[in-house]
Amino acid sequence: MVRGSLELRRRSTRDGGTHAAMAVREAEPVGSLNEVKEAGLDREDLLAIYRHLLVTRGIEERGHILYKQGKIPGSFYTGRGNEGAAVGVATAMGPDDVGTPLHRDMGVHVTRGVEPWRIFAQYMGREDGPTRGRDGNVHMADARLGMIAMVSHLPAMLPVAVGCALAFRIRHERRVAVGWYGEGAAARGDAHEAMNLAGVRQLPVVFVCDNNQWSYSTPTHLAYPVEHLADRAAAYGFDGVVVDGTDVLAVYREAKMAIEKARDGGGPTLLELQTLRMEGHAVHDDAFYVPKELFEEWAKRDPVERFRTWLRENAELRDDEEDEIASRVKKILNDALARADESPLPDPATLLEGVYATSEDLDTPHHK
Amino acid sequence: MTYLQAISDGLRVEMRRDERVFVIGEDVGVYGGAFKVTLGFQEEFGPWRVLDSPLAETAILGACTGAAIMGMRPVAEMQFADFISCGWDHLVTVAAKQRFRAGTPVPIVVRLPSGGGFSGGPFHSQNPESSFAHIPGLKCVCPATPEDAKGLLISSIEDPNPVLFFEHKHLYRRIKGEVSEERYTVPLGKARTHREGDEISVITWGAMVYTADEAAKELEKQDVSVEIVDLRTVMPWDREAVLASVRKCSKVLVLHEDTRTGGFGAEIAATIAEEAFEDLDAPVKRIAAPDCPVPFAPVLEKAYIPQVEDVVAGLSELAAY
C-alpha cells in the first residue's frame, strides 16, 4: 500500500465525499520468482534489470559530482526514486517500440542501450553527447534506439507519442509507442488532447504517468482533484492502472500487459506509477517543502534496495554475484567518465548546422 | 483550374504517388474540409489516410510530428490559419527545434487557410506568417497563383522540415490559371517576378500580389513603370531577387496584408537598408494593415486591409520623390 501524501489525498478525497470514486485497478505487488517467470523474465533478465538500476543511479550520482565540480553547465536533474519505474517500463518495451522518456527516466535510456559515456558527454555539453551540445541534461535521445528527445514544455511529448502510434496503425505495424508525463504536467491540455485522440482512434500507445507527488514545489492536492490520475483513463475510453513505482517487477508486469494489449489492437492504457521524488526539482532545490517524514517513509521503499532484497530472497542472489555486478557497474561508469572527458567541445563554427534539415537527414531508421 | 483546385490537385498527386502522405484535420474527411480542398479524398484514400480529427490543434500537430519521425509525410489542415495559435507551442517548441537539438527531422506540412476580405472577423481572417517566419526551423510558404500553389505544395511535402503553407482564402475560387495535370515542383525560397518594370519595385506575396498588380496598372497610365516581386516563400526568402529588383528600380514599396509593426516587411525593409542603401533614390516605403485586430464590418475591414487606392497613393508618392 502506498503511503505518505498520496494516502493523505485518498483520505481527504473520501472524507470530502464530493468526488465519485472511479474504478481504476490498483496493481498487486510482485510476488514469487515463478510469477515473474510467467511474466516473461528469466534470471538473466532479472540480473540485467538490477544492473540497469545500478547504472542509472550511478550515472546520476556521478553527474551530481560533476555538477559540483563545475563540469556541468546550466542545471542538473535526477530521477532518484524513479529508477524502478523507468527501468521497469523500458524492460517491457519491444526492440521496435518507441518512446519519449523524460527527465526522471534515465533508466529508460540505460535500458534501451544508450552508452553511459555519451550521457556524461551530454551533461557536459560535449560534441559526443546525443545533442552535440545543442541541448542539455536529459533532453536527449538516440533515435536508433527508438527514443525521441523530450522538450521542457511538459507534457508536449504525449501528442508526439500518439503520432508515432498513429503511424504504426496506418501501416499495420505491430509496434507500440510509450509516452511519459508527470502528475504536474497532467494539468496541461496537451495530455488531454493526446489521450482523447488516442482513445478515439484506439491507437497502440501506453501513457506512463510518473507520479512523484511533487511538481517542483507543488503537492498533488494542488495539482489535480481526483483520487488517482489513472481515474482519467476512463474518460478517454481506456483502462487506467495504479502501480507502486518503487516495485520494478510490478511496473514491468503492468507495462508488459499494457504494451502487449496495445500491440494486439486493444488500444491505450494509462499507467500511474507512484513514487516520491527523492531530491529537489533540480540540483539547486533542497526540497525543504517536502515533509521530512515523507522522505523517511519512502527511503524505506528505495527501488534499487528493494529489488536487491527481492533478488536475495527470491532469486538466490549471492554475495559474489552482487560484488561482481557492483564492480562491473563501477568500471562502466569510470570508463564512461574518462571517455566523456576526452570528448571535444562543440565547434562554434558549426552552430548553424541542423537548424534546417536536409534531405540526407531523412536517411534515418524511421524514414525509409 | 482555380487556386483551390490546384492545391487539391497537388495534394492528390502526392497522395497517389507516395503512400507515406496522409491528411489529418478537422472535418477533412466526409465533409472534405471547411473549404472542400479534400473533397472526395476519403473515398479515394480511405479513412486512415484522410483522418477526421477531434477539435484539437495540438493533438493534430503533435500527431503529425510523431508520425513524421516514424517515417510518414503528414499534411495537417488547420480549419483556419487563425487556429494555429492553439498549436503554436507544439510547432515552435517541438517541431521547429527537433532537428537542431536531437538530429531528428520533422517533415510535416501544415495547410493554413489564411487572410481576410470577406468579413471573417478577428478569428477567421489573420495572416500569421510573420510570427512563424521568426522561428528558426520553420518554413513559411505563401503562394499567389494556382500554378505556384500546386508546385509549392508538392515541394513542401517533399521538404524535410516543418512547412507552414499559407493558402489565401480570398484567392481560393477567385483566381484561376493554367495548371499542368502533371506532377511538378516549384522550389521553396525562390521569388517570382509577377510584373516587369524599372522605376518602382513592389515586394509582396499572397493576395496582395493582385492588389499591387491593379495599382501598377493605374501607375502605368501615369507612365510610371512598376515591377512586382512575388516572394512566394516568406521563409526562406529570396534576398537576391529582392535586392536585384531594388537595384534595378531604385525605389521600393514593401506591401503585406499582415499588420505593420514587426511584420515580415520590416525585415525586408531592414535588409534593403543594410544591403542596398546606396542604390536607393527614395526611403523604403511600407504599406501594411494597421496594428489592430482584423475587424468584422465590411467598411472597417476595407479600412484595415491595404486597398488598391492605398497602394496607388504610396506608389505615386514614391514616383514623385
Query: What own/partner pairs with CB < 8 Å and gap ≥ 24 does B218-224 have?
Result: B218/B308, B218/B312, B218/B315, B219/B312, B219/B315, B219/B316, B219/B319, B222/B316, B222/B319, B224/B199, B224/B200, B224/B315, B224/B316, B224/B319
Residue of A nearest to B53 (CA): A197
Return the pLDDT at A363: 74
Measured between beta carbons, which residues in chain A are less than 8 angstroms from residue B93? 151-153, 156
CA distance A167 to chain B (A): 5
Strand B192-195 relative to strand B50-52: parallel, antiparallel, unpaired? unpaired
In angstroms, the CA B153 to CA A165 distance is 26
The set of cell numbers assigned to B25 is 484535420
Contact B150, B184 (CB under 8 A): yes
Strand B21-25 relative to strand B200-204: parallel, antiparallel, unpaired? unpaired
Q: Three-state DSSP class for A136?
A: coil
For residue range B90-149, list pLDDT tens digits in order.
Answer: 999 999 999 999 999 999 999 999 999 999 999 999 999 999 999 999 999 999 999 999
Closest by CA position to B234, among listed B166, B185, B151, B293: B166
The set of cell numbers assigned to A325 is 555486478
Pairwise CB contact (< 8 Å): A193 & B56: yes
Percent of chain A with pLDDT over 70: 92
Pairwise CB contact (< 8 Å): A197 & B59: yes
Contact A78, A287 (CB under 8 A): no
Return the pLDDT at A14: 41
Task: Confirm or reject contact between A25 and chain B (CB < 8 A).
Answer: no
pLDDT averaged over chain A?
A: 93
Q: State yes or no: pLDDT of B244 exceeds 80.
A: yes
The model carries a pTM of: 0.95
pLDDT averaged over chain B?
A: 98
> Least CB-CB distance to B137: which of A131, A151, A355?
A355
pLDDT less than 70: residues of chain A: 1-23, 364-368
Q: State yes or no: pLDDT of B268 exceeds 50.
A: yes
Contact B142, B164 (CB under 8 A): no
Task: Confirm or reject contact between A160 and chain B (CB < 8 A).
Answer: yes
What region, left, alpha or beta, does residue B222 occupy, with left being phi > 0 and alpha being psi -120 to 50 degrees? Answer: alpha
In angstroms, the CA A222 to CA A218 distance is 6
In angstroms, the CA B239 to CA B246 distance is 10
ipTM for the whole complex = 0.97
Task: Confirm or reject contact between A74 and chain B (CB < 8 A).
Answer: no
Closest by CA position to A366, among listed B48, B161, B61, B105: B105
For residue B124, indicate whether it is catalytic.
yes
Angstrom CA distances, A230 to A110, A218, A233, B20, B80, stand at 27, 19, 6, 34, 34
Closest by CA position to B125, among listed B161, B81, B177, B156: B81
In angstroms, the CA A77 to CA A63 distance is 9
